[in-house]
Structures are given as structure tokens and as C-alpha cells.
Amino acid sequence: MKNIKGPAIFLTQFMSDEPPFNNLKSICKWAASLGYVGVQIPTWDGRCMDLKKASESKEYCDELKETVESCGVQITELSTHLQGQLVAVHPAYNEMFDGFAPKSVQGKPKERTAWAVDQLRYAAKASKNLGLNAHVTFSGALMWHTVYPWPQRPAGLVDDGFKELARRWLPILNTFDKNGVDLCYEIHPGEDLHDGITFERFWEATGKHERCNILYDPSHFVLQQLDYLQYLDFYHSFIKMFHVKDAEFNSTGRSGVYGGYQGWVDRPGRFRSLGDGQVDFKSIFSKLAQYDYDGWAVLEWECCIKHPEQGAAEGAPFIKNHMIQVTEKAFDDFASTGKNAKLNKKILGI
């Protein structure tokens, strides 16, 4: 069995224009002071890094690593959540997602998609230059507006949708393969890859591409009322990344899974800081250890109640206390009589 690495923290929700959150070095020092040993970096935030430059220059990546490691942490993975979203956008969401792209391609869907694809290719090369073996993104969505089938979906619509999604992602997956990096999709409502079935259909549409993998975040499954523990039994071989994020679901007679268009505080399903929700992290860490997950355990803080700095401060010891140092021997080794072929045959009666 293998050991999980961590604790680490995803920097996205903490970056701001106020110190110590306004540049990579100062936020890494802050993370290290809380007990984190790794940081996951959002590639769209110029305060953290220049993605294009990182894809082109090993020297720049070495300097980036040196900056981070001088603070007492290391880079765990890069993220292109926002860029990945733009690989596949249904026209109904054009205006809402335009803000994820630079002004030069806003209002220009084809140019925006091309920009997003380039960003993912940069991320593959940058990950290689940084010595990383996994990367996280979103799949985007062409079918999400049909998730609740009324009117009924036309015959063949879903097959066509996954075929088109795979067509867009296959060149990107091939680029990641060329650079020796696994591309992990965060399975997330709002994306066409939002549960186990949708991931399977996409994976099959890509020809079962070996670089097509999963970032596991149980909070999204709590909100869908999906069995997040059995999910590990089904998909552990695909899980190369892990966001440690808590959530709770408390349905009422007024609102359920869909949330009633309410704000996060009032929804039955809502994200919480670690330890404040309903996720059974003891069982999750046990299953990940059982299945030899040796990637990072990365805090993603999203909570509608608790302050982010309190959530971050509580998150490092929470993760550390759940990490399992796997055993190197069986608990009943003391009773072993060793290997004896003759004895085995005698016991078997042969």
C-alpha cells in the first residue's frame, strides 16, 4: 500500500489584492505557516504564474519551483478550471462564461474556444516542465441545459453530445499524453462530466484514453445525493487527484436537490468548511489508502458561513489527522509459521 501526500491547499479561493494573498511567494509562506506542505496553483491568475511562459521555459519553471519551495511548500498540481470550462460552452451560457476569457475573445465563441484549447496545451507542457504528473480541469458542457429531460431529449442527442465533447478534448488529451501528464476532470454539476455515468460515457467516447482521469471531490456528490464511498470502489483506478472539501444536504418540504434558486446559505445542499459538514472523511481516507492512492490531499475551501482564513487554519490539521500511514506488515504476522510447501499440501490433503 502507498501513502497519501499532504496536507496541501488550492490557492484559488484565497488569492486577492491584499497581502499576504496578493503574490505567490507571500501566499506560499502563509500556507506553510498553517502547516500545509503543498499548494495547487490556478493558472489563470497572473499573481501566481504566467502559464504561456511556463509552457515555453524550463528555466522559468525552475525559478517558480524555487520560489515556492523556499517558502516551505511544493507545487502539487496546476489547475485550468476556468479555461477547461470554455472548451465546451452551450450558446445559452456565452455571456455568463465570457468573463473567464480575456477581453480580446469575449463575444467571439469560436475564438474563445481556440484560446481555451491553447491554454490547456500550455498547461500540459508547463506541468511537464515543473515535473508534475497530474493536472485538473473542467470538461465544459454542451448538454447541461437538458439534464432534466423536459421536453424529452431527442433520440441520439446524448451520444452526439459526448461524441462532440470527446472530439474537442482528444487533441488536448493527446498533448497531455505526449507530456506524460494525467488530465483529471473534476466531476462537477454544471459540467457534462458530473457523475460516474457521464464520466464513463465520455471516457468511452475518447476511445478509453489512458490520460482521461478524475479529480475526486466528495462534496459534489453529497449535493447530488450520490454514494461518494461506493464511487471510490467503482472509479479508484481513475482517481489521480483529490479535493478535500466538506458539504451537507438537509432537504426540507420546500426545497431539495435543485435548491429553489436560493443563495448558498439557504440551499438544502451547501458546501462547508472541513469538519462542519456531513462527509465521512475517515472512510474516504481509508478507501483511498486501500486502493493505493498516492497523490495529494488538497484542501479546497468553499463555505457559505465560515471565514476562509479560519477554514484554512482548521483545514491543515484536519487533513493531517485523517491521513493514514499505511502498514508495512499484517497485524497477524506474529502468528505466522512461514512458508512450507509440504505443510501446505498436508493441510490441503494433497
pLDDT at 336: 82
Contact 43, 79 (CB under 8 A): yes
Contact 199, 235 (CB under 8 A): yes
% residues pLDDT > 90 (the chain): 95
323 CB burial (10 A radius; 0-12, 13-18, 19+):
middle
Average pLDDT (177-202) is 98
One-letter amino acid of 75: I
One-letter amino acid of 241: M
pLDDT tens readout for residues 275-321: 999 999 999 999 999 999 999 999 999 999 999 999 999 999 999 99
In DSSP terms, which residues pair with 38 in a beta bridge?
Answer: 8, 74
> pLDDT grade, residue 327 (50/70/90)?
confident
Strand 296-299 versus strand 5-10 pairing type: parallel
User: In whole angstroms, how far apart are CA 182 and each of 41, 246, 285, 329?
Assistant: 16, 25, 22, 31
197 contacts: CB under 8 Å, gap ≥ 6: none
> pLDDT grade, residue 331 (50/70/90)?
confident
pTM recorded for the entire structure: 0.96
pLDDT greater than 90 at residue 335: no
Average pLDDT (197-209) is 98
Of the candidates 29, 27, 30, 53, which has an alpha carbon nearest to the alpha carbon of residue 41?
A: 27
Angle at 264 between CA 7 and CA 271, to 5 degrees: 25
What span, in angstroms and rounded, lies between the C-alpha atoms of 4 and 37?
12
> pLDDT grade, residue 181 (50/70/90)?
very high
Domain boundaries, the chain: 5-348
HSE toward the beta carbon, residue 69, CA cutoff 13 A: 10
> pLDDT grade, residue 82 (50/70/90)?
very high
pLDDT at 338: 85
pLDDT greater than 80 at residue 334: no
294 contacts: CB under 8 Å, gap ≥ 6: 2, 3, 4, 5
One-letter amino acid of 38: G
pLDDT at 18: 97
Q: E-assigned strands of the chain?
A: 5-10, 38-42, 74-80, 134-137, 182-186, 212-216, 239-244, 246-249, 269-272, 296-299
Class of the CATH domain delimited by 5-348 = alpha beta
Angle at 145 between CA 144 and CA 150, to 5 degrees: 120
pLDDT tens readout for residues 120-174: 999 999 999 999 999 999 999 999 999 999 999 999 999 999 999 999 999 999 9
Looking at residue 135, what DSSP letter applies? E
Map residue 185 onto helix, strand or coil. Answer: strand
